[in-house]
A and B are shown apart, each in its own frame.
Chain A
Amino acid sequence: MNGEPLTILLVEDNLDHAELIARSFEDHRVANKLFHVTDGEAALDYLFRREDYADPEKSPTPHVILLDLRLPKIDGQEVLRQIKASNELKQVPVVVLTTSEAEKDVHSAYKNGANSYLAKPVDFDKFTQLMDDLGFYWLGWNHHPWT
């Protein structure tokens, strides 16, 4: 926390969930900047700076990506595969944050190169606690490959 703007890319199609996540981060002042996209295609456009996100000002490379799995247009697993297949993006930590606790999803996420797999807790306190810890861990304790 040295005052540098830390960036999170949130890929989440459920607007209510996105709102909950955003509020948790706001309350705990975890992130300086939260970018939110609602489908897999938009996420890839953002990361690879295509279409609406061609301007690097609008799409800074995030320090961590929070990725839902069930996404419209392009599935979250596919988004994960493409990030990890890219030489520039594969070093960005990707934290899968989804409702699914299915073993199948966990296995394929790690196989596709996920750095962490988190299931959204139904309980509100646990949810806010997770967001809190997540922020501290990935944006506080964790060292990033770039500053």
Chain B
Amino acid sequence: MNQNDAAQHNVKAPRRAFWSIRTKLAVGFSSAAVAVLLVVELVGMKGIPFTSFQGRQANEKDEAFRGLSLIADLKKERLTRWIEELNDDIHAYAENDMVRGNVAAVRAAAREVIPRNAADPQAWAKLRGHDSCKKLEQFLNTIRLTYESYEGLHISDAQTGMVIVSTDLDELGADDSKQQYFISSLTSQDSYMGDIQLGRRGKPTFYASHLIIDDKGKPAAVLVLEVLADDIIGAMLHTGEGLGKTGEALLVNQNLRILTSLKHRLGDGTTAKPLEYHITAKPALLAASGEEGIIEAKDYRGVTVLAAYRHIPIGSELGWGMVVKQDRAELFAPIRSDAVNAWSIAAVAIVLIILLSSFVARSLTRPLLELSSASERVSAGDLNARAQVATSDEVGRLAQTFNAMVEHIQGWHEQLEEQVRARTGELQAANKALTEEFAEHEHAEQERSKLIIKLEASNAELERFAYTVSHDLKSPLITIKGFLGVLGRDLEAGKTTRVQDNMARIGSAAEKMEQLLDELLELSRIGRLVNPPEDVPFGDLARGAVAMVSGRIEKSGATVEIAPELPTVHGDRPRLMEVMQNLVDNAAKYMGDQPNPTIKIGARENGDEITFYVRDNGVGIEPRYQQRIFGLFDKLDPKSDGSGIGLAIVKRIVEVHGGRIWVESEGAGHGSTFWLTLSPEKKGDN
């Protein structure tokens, strides 16, 4: 691993990932433990599906049903027995000889004393004074007092239906002939047990009756027994423990009327009246239809209850339905509080589990983290890092192995680094040698290409020179030969008018040729510097040039201004003088009609380069001609004197000195400025 990689590893800071082993362990253990806990809790509560284990809730329900059934059976038993006893009792009373004898006597007395439909109290008093009546009355009262459950007893005449003996004196003379118990008893030898109905006193009353026969076995009278339903039967239903606060037992007849008062108010807040309220709750319905069993259903309030329902047969035809029920909420209250307890314990257990598993995870992962951080340090380049793990388990062994491995790596690394250092030294030396070689080579190459460029330039110039010379020297030759021919012809023809003109043309052409040859010689000399280079104050050059062309300047009437302080340049003095002479001469020559002709000579420094200028306000040069003016024998004005070689010479001299020359002019009539760059003083020869 090299240094760069190490640096990159360092950048990725070893921030612990969220899902570290520790978190995973802690979360995993906790989740598993919580899940197990939840399953156990739920199974305990709800049972295991598809198995016989049905859970505490179902057990509790079974228990509740069992309790209710037990209570219902007990109550049924008690009621049934009570009815049976009543049945037996009334039978016994009616068959009693004393009763039968006295009834016959009372009937006879009544027929005498009591007029039909008479409500004469005296008549009744008279009857009661009768010995047999007294006995009967006493008998009935004795029974009533003995069995507190009887509200009243009376005997009605079988023929008239009139009450002739009663424990309640107000009842005497009342008409029983329309009563069901009366009618039923007349035709039956057995006791009659009637449905509960509204009694004479406006209370739900249970009637039991039995026929009393006379000596001849004919119906003589009916013995009637009244029991107040709420006081006796209701009390019987409600006695006994085991129904909690909400539990109750209720009775309904076959028409689903309630027979005893209800414990609770109805859903709408009213109190149900016995014999009037028509119950529709399912348990009552089932009980009334003669069925027995248990059920979880809504009761008359709409509250869900667990109920046991029983059928209680009364006599041979009638039957009541009994419902023993208790609110489910109350029944399950113990389970709910159990559940609350269980869940609280579970919550505490979960917290403990999480803490415990965190602790275990931490103690398990601490050595791993230490190992991981050590490996990170190593991977970041710190080969001195070791894992500080003291445990003797698998992680401890792993740490030892890791440390040993790092030890090895460190050894190799140091060895490698040593080798790299040695190699690097060798390479650097080789590289240095190579670089030097390259530099030499490159220098030679540069020299070579410089030389080639120089040679090529010189070649091209030679070509251009040869071409120019052949063209420009040929031109006057054509003129000379041409006009000589013309002259000859004219003379032959005897024409002498143009002789002078022809001769003049020939002469000037010859002069032109001579001038051209001189200038070409001059130009050819410029290529090599003939005088040793020296430091020349540019001011000297400017003043010298102005002095040399003073004739032309005077003729043009131009004023010359030379900048007071001009730098010193390095070069061939006579040649540089020639340059300035040419430029000043040109400036004076092309002044045109300028009324205030002025020539300015100055310099401007740009970094290590000095730029000199010769500026005039004469005719100027249009931009399109500004390149051509420096060409050999190029002239803008064919009629102007001079061969057109002057600026070519100037350019050549400046270039030989390593400088540049160019012209700036805004066009005809705006004057021109010639710029040239020269090397500053004491800058060696090139």
Which A residues lie at the B interface, using CB under 8 A?
13-17, 19-20, 23, 38-39, 70, 72-75, 98-102, 104, 120-125, 127-128
In the complex, what's the smallest C-beta–C-beta distance from A89 to chain B, in angstroms? 20
- How far is A39 from B624 in the complex, measured between Cα atoms in Å? 14
Q: Which of B87-95, B135-143, B481-489, B592-600 contacts A (4 or more CB under 8 A)?
A: B481-489
B638 adjacent to A99 (CB under 8 Å) = no
Q: Which residue of A lies closest to B640 (CB)?
A: A72
Interface of B is mostly: helix
B474 adjacent to A99 (CB under 8 Å) = yes
For B479, list chain A residues within 8 Å (CB).
14, 16-17, 20
> 12 other contacts beyond A20-B479, A100-B467, A121-B478, with CB at 8 A cut-off?
A14-B479, A17-B475, A19-B505, A23-B486, A70-B471, A70-B472, A72-B636, A100-B471, A102-B471, A122-B478, A127-B481, A128-B485
Q: Max chain A CB contacts within 10 Å: which of B474, B624, B628, B633?
A: B474
Q: For chains A and B in complex, what number of residue pairs have CB atoms within 8 angstroms? A: 69
For B634, list chain A residues within 8 Å (CB).
72
- How far is A23 from B505 in the complex, measured between Cα atoms in Å? 14
In the complex, what's the smallest C-beta–C-beta distance from A23 to chain B, in angstroms? 6
Known: A14-B475, A16-B509, A100-B470. A72 touches B482 (CB 8 A): no
For B483, list chain A residues within 8 Å (CB).
16, 20
- How far is A75 from B638 in the complex, measured between Cα atoms in Å? 13
In the complex, what's the smallest C-beta–C-beta distance from B366 to chain A, in angstroms? 93
For B484, list chain A residues within 8 Å (CB).
124
Q: Which residue of A lies closest to B635 (CB)?
A: A72
A127 adjacent to B485 (CB under 8 Å) = yes
- How far is A73 from B636 in the complex, measured between Cα atoms in Å? 5
In the complex, what's the smallest C-beta–C-beta distance from A64 to chain B, in angstroms? 21
A99 contact from B478, B505, B625, B636, Cβ within 8 A: B478
Task: Return 19 A-B CB contacts under 8 Å, by A number.
Answer: A13-B638, A14-B479, A16-B505, A17-B479, A38-B638, A38-B639, A39-B638, A72-B636, A73-B636, A75-B628, A99-B478, A104-B467, A121-B478, A122-B481, A124-B482, A124-B485, A124-B486, A127-B481, A127-B482
Interface size on B, residues (CB 8 A): 27
Closest 10 CB pairs of A and B: A124-B485, A16-B479, A13-B638, A20-B482, A99-B474, A100-B471, A72-B638, A38-B638, A124-B481, A99-B475
Q: Which residue of B lies closest to A23 (CB)?
A: B486
For B509, list chain A residues within 8 Å (CB).
16
A20 adjacent to B486 (CB under 8 Å) = yes
- How far is A19 from B502 in the complex, measured between Cα atoms in Å? 10
In the complex, what's the smallest C-beta–C-beta distance from B55 to chain A, in angstroms? 111
B554 within 8 A of A: no
- How far is A23 from B490 in the complex, measured between Cα atoms in Å? 12
A17 adjacent to B482 (CB under 8 Å) = yes
For A75, list chain B residues within 8 Å (CB).
628
Q: Max chain B CB contacts within 10 Å: which of A15, A23, A104?
A: A23
B477 within 8 A of A: yes
Q: Which residue of B lies closest to A104 (CB)?
A: B467
In the complex, what's the smallest C-beta–C-beta distance from A85 to chain B, in angstroms? 17
Q: Which residue of B lies closest to A39 (CB)?
A: B638
- How far is A16 from B628 in the complex, measured between Cα atoms in Å? 24
- How far is A101 from B478 in the complex, measured between Cα atoms in Å? 14
- How far is A16 from B471 in the complex, measured between Cα atoms in Å? 15
B477 contact from A23, A74, A122, A125, Cβ within 8 A: A122
For B486, list chain A residues within 8 Å (CB).
20, 23, 124
B637 within 8 A of A: yes
In the complex, what's the smallest C-beta–C-beta distance from A13 to chain B, in angstroms? 4
For A123, list chain B residues within 8 Å (CB).
481
For A121, list chain B residues within 8 Å (CB).
478
For A100, list chain B residues within 8 Å (CB).
467, 470-471
For A124, list chain B residues within 8 Å (CB).
481-482, 484-486
- Interface positions, chain B 432-485, Cβ under 8 Å from A, are 467, 470-472, 474-475, 477-479, 481-485
For A17, list chain B residues within 8 Å (CB).
475, 478-479, 482
For A15, list chain B residues within 8 Å (CB).
638
For B624, list chain A residues within 8 Å (CB).
74
- Binary CB contact string for chain B from 609 to 635 against chain A (1 if under 8 A, 0 otherwise): 000000000000000110010000111
Q: Which residue of B lies closest to A75 (CB)?
A: B628
Q: Which residue of B lies closest to A102 (CB)?
A: B467
- How far is A14 from B481 in the complex, measured between Cα atoms in Å? 14
Q: Max chain B CB contacts within 10 Å: which of A19, A104, A127?
A: A19
Q: Which residue of A lies closest to B487 (CB)?
A: A124
Known: A13-B638, A72-B634, A73-B625. A99 touches B482 (CB 8 A): no
Q: Which residue of B lies closest to A74 (CB)?
A: B624
Q: Which residue of B lies closest to A121 (CB)?
A: B478
A16 adjacent to B638 (CB under 8 Å) = no
In the complex, what's the smallest C-beta–C-beta distance from A24 to chain B, in angstroms? 9
Q: Which residue of A lies closest to B488 (CB)?
A: A124
B474 adjacent to A122 (CB under 8 Å) = yes
A16 adjacent to B482 (CB under 8 Å) = yes
Q: Which residue of B lies closest to A128 (CB)?
A: B485
- How far is A124 from B483 in the complex, measured between Cα atoms in Å? 8
